[in-house]
Structure 1
């Protein structure tokens, strides 16, 4: 790691929470598999955006 560079931002917790949240919301709507996929897609999108934002710093 270069001098003066901070540690990268991690998005693992965000990814896990969106997957769980999507599954719960989908389950309440009668579609837990669709909720799982939607939560996973949202979590991946947020993780990629955080990675791109952190990379640009």
Structure 2
């Protein structure tokens, strides 16, 4: 059975992966790849947690 679009859960893994990649690229540009990676990870995880929290409220 498939879920109705209005009740289907959202996936936050894409946000985490995108944050890590963009953070690493941005970090390489400014010469701080590790810091960019960690900032991207934190931003992606934060967005994924927000998405999860918002989805739970439905």
RMSD of Structure 2 on Structure 1 (CA): 1.7
- 8 Å CA contact 2:15–2:45 kept in 1: the answer is no
Q: Deviations over 1:3-56 (max 9, x none)?
A: 877221101111101100000000000000000000000011001000000000
Q: Which consecutive aligned stretches of 4+ in structure 1 deviate over 6 angstroms post-superposition?
A: none
- 8 Å CA contact 2:26–2:36 kept in 1: the answer is yes
Structure-1-length-normalised TM-score: 0.88
Unaligned runs of at least 5 residues, structure 2:
none
Structure-2-length-normalised TM-score: 0.86
Unaligned runs of at least 5 residues, structure 1:
none
